[in-house]
Chain A
Amino acid sequence: MKWGTFFCLALLLLYLRLYLLSRLELSGVRPDLFIIMLVYLAAHADTMSAFIANWFLGMLQDIFSGGPGVFFTLFFCLMSLVVSRFQAGFFQENYWTRLVFVFLCAFQCNFLYGLWITYLYPECYLQALSLKVLLGTLYTTALAPICFYGFGWLALIAPPKV
């Protein structure tokens, strides 16, 4: 049941990101709802469940991106382990530290992907790329409170223990 809810929610977030949020773009940038879900899962589920769930999220994002490789899968797995390690004593109950983690994760994801794109295609317009990294990070962080409220309200998102 809980895994089922998680899969439905993941697909819903994917649909929101790919179709609906395209209408709320800021300079061609949409918020990354999966990053918010990553932090929420890592904070509320046990390490293993969060890892599997985030692997799935990363894979989903990689399938729907036209870029090469499995960047998002690896990033989501790694960040899931990092956030899970910090979550117990550091920010389990603290709302603001969770937001800080969303900001850090979103920034790292955008920055590393931007770096990778620049490495693959050196002709990139760096000014536009930097703007996208910054705007993407801030937009994702700005949406995080609403998403956390929504996830908390559902209260079913955390997958069961493996």
Chain B
Amino acid sequence: MSGVQSYNGRRRTMYVRAGHKQLIMKRYQKLLCGWMILASLLFPLLGQQFNLLRLSFLSPLRSVSAYVNATTTDQTTELRLLRGKLALAYSQILDLRKQVDALSGFRRKFAQHPKVIPAKIILRRESSNFRQMVLINRGSRDGIATGFAVAFGDALVGVIKQAGEWVSWVSLITDPAVKLKTLLVSAQDGTCYAKGIVVGTGDAKSCWLKFISCNHRVRAGDLLLTTEFGDIGPQGLVIGEVLPSVELNYGMFHGAKIRPLVDLDQLNVVLVVVK
């Protein structure tokens, strides 16, 4: 009888202990959840340090892209290897040619500008669908800082948004975070006739031109250039051209839809214009 009692007692103690353990586990789990959410909320408070930390996570992409470019994946036969190498060399030649074109296009127009840094795009899109940003393989170690203009030839492509040590995020001119002061140049006689502001829309193919005085009439095909009063790079980089038929009207100002001169989806190489 006493043996049965002690058996039941042991079993009850075991259940109580198991229940207690579960309760403790649950409490720890809730604590852990809370801490993880709190830590996530605290990250943005680090400000610039948080962005640098994020960018340092992306730094390996620079060496990975270099490695992918330097080797071929298929080594089963010598023929395949040679074909791969040939294709690789050809793509490198194309990249270099684009780089040379971009540089010479830039130099033709801005011969006196002291320094530009060629960079390669290593991530064409960021992880969300709403921003228009690319990651380039140059960072603060190469002399890049936030706010530098990014060009292709004599066309403006974007602005450095965050500069990490090895890599940097570039906001393309179509990104909603970009606002640029601009000069409107007539396509017919080449005269500057108005000032305005270019704003990214988040749409990959177009931007808005805003705050044009009602005294000036915007014509389709007119070009937009960066101004000397803007916060970025040299004066005279081409931002885009005015599209026909879409026009905004608000009070004393009006605006139009524009499209970038360069196909931003096809870019591989860009130039960072050092201030």
Contacts and interface: CB of A to CB of B under 8 A. Distances in A.
Contact of A123 (B54, B135, B176): B176
B202 A129 contact: yes
Contacts, number: 111
B201 interface: yes
Contact of B204 (A28, A51, A65, A117): A28
B123 interface: yes
B203 A28 contact: yes
A120 B175 CA distance: 12
Interface residues of B, number: 39
Interface string B88-130: 0000000000000000000000000000000000011111111
B225 interface: no
Contacts of B37: 74, 77
Interface residues of A, number: 45
B202 A65 contact: no
A113 interface: yes
B29 A117 contact: no
Interface stretch (B40-48, B74-82, B182-190, B236-244): B40-48
Nearest to A132: B129
A149 B158 CA distance: 41
Interface of B: 29, 32-33, 36-37, 40-41, 43-44, 54, 57-58, 123-131, 133, 135, 161-162, 169, 171, 176-177, 179, 199-204, 206, 208, 210
A28 B161 CA distance: 21
Contacts of A74: 37, 40-41
A70 B47 CA distance: 12
A136 to B, nearest CB: 5
A155 B176 CA distance: 41
